[in-house]
Chains A and B, each alone.
Chain A
Amino acid sequence: EAQVTQNPRYLITVTGKKLTVTCSQNMNHEYMSWYRQDPGLGLRQIYYSMNVEVTDKGDVPEGYKVSRKEKRNFPLILESPSPNQTSLYFCASRPFSGSSYEQYFGPGTRLTVT
């Protein structure tokens, strides 16, 4: 089944404790992206990657890091989480070629930073 998977689905952590949220897709998509969803703000892009070893900032990159060492994986790293990073996070992917521009989303990771 074609899908985007994220782990963990739920995470409660404390300020300053480094964490990684994993994202993996099995559709051989070149493009992957991370979004955060906050009430009243919709989804905002954090980082994106157009292919292996190619990443760039989105609209809200502060406090986050990403890496793309393999085509299928795009982990999101919070090196020193703070309470304002409490949010619902979504990973998405799509093929870089083609014209549909449709993105496929993972199930989300709900992060709480205390």
Chain B
Amino acid sequence: AQSVTQLDSQVPVFEEAPVELRCNYSSSVSVYLFWYVQYPNQGLQLLLKYLSGSTLVKGINGFEAEFNKSQTSFHLRKPSVHISDTAEYFCAVSVRRAQKLVFGQGTRLTINP
């Protein structure tokens, strides 16, 4: 079975500062990895995904993530955050032919002016 751990439940940062949201996963087979964002009172929107190939994945809104197989991590980064990035971020994993996404607990990103 797969599991996902998001190491921080809340991350406060100042506007224009860099941010890293951490995600570790556990799986005995190869996985697909995703980051979703949930803005207040909205559904989930895909930020980026890793399926195969280059371990550095670029997504929407200036976010990127790096897949590290040896450390079983998929941390999300942005070099300079904006107030509009305030949201909850979910890391998720899926395996080939699996019928579900397994989600982490979520990280609430708060941007202070």
The reply to whether chain A is a binding partner of chain B is yes
B34 nearest CB across to chain A (Å): 7
Q: Total contacts A to B, CB within 8 angstroms?
A: 55
Known: A31-B99, A102-B34, A102-B49. A42 touches B90 (CB 8 A): yes
In the bound complex, what is the Cα–Cα distance between A105 and B90 (angstroms)?
A: 13
Q: Which residues of B contact A62 (CB under 8 A)?
A: none
Chain B residues lying within 8 Å of A59, measured Cβ to Cβ, are: 100
Chain B 89-105 interface 0/1 with A at a Cβ cutoff of 8 Å (1 = within): 01010100001110111
Also in contact, A44 and B42, with CB within 8 A (given A100-B51, A101-B51, A101-B94)? no
Measured between beta carbons, the chain A residues less than 8 angstroms from B45 are 105
Chain A residues within an 8 Å CB radius of B101: 43, 45, 101, 103
Per-residue CB contact flags for chain A residues 15-54 toward chain B (1 = under 8 Å, else 0) read 0000000000000000101010000111111001010000
What residue in chain A is nearest B31 (Cβ atoms)? A101
Given contacts A90-B43, A100-B49, contact A40 B9 (CB under 8 A): yes
In Å, the complex CA distance between A45 and B9 comes to: 21
Q: Which A residues are CB-close (under 8 A) to B103?
A: 35, 42-44
Binary B-proximity of A52-89 (CB < 8 A = 1, otherwise 0): 00001011000000000000000000000000000000
What is the total number of residues of chain B having a CB less than 8 Å from a CB of chain A? 23
Chain B positions 36 through 58: 1 when the CB is less than 8 Å from some CB of chain A, otherwise 0: 10000011111001010000000
B104 (CB) vs chain A CBs: closest residue = A42
The secondary structure that dominates the B interface is: strand
Q: Which residue of A lies closest to B99 (CB)?
A: A48
Supposing A43-B90, A50-B99, A100-B51 touch, asked if A105 and B43 sit within 8 A by C-beta, the answer is: yes
How many whole Å from B76's CB to the nearest CB in chain A?
Answer: 15
Contact of B43 with A41 in the complex, beta carbons under 8 Å: no
> Which residue among A43, A44, A58, A103 has the maximum number of chain B CB atoms within 10 Å of its CB?
A43
CB within 8 Å of A: which residues of B?
4, 6, 9, 32, 34, 36, 42-46, 49, 51, 90, 92, 94, 99-101, 103-106
Q: Using CB atoms and an 8 Å cutoff, list the residues of chain A in contact with chain B.
A: 4, 31, 33, 35, 40-45, 48, 50, 56, 58-59, 90, 92, 99-103, 105-108
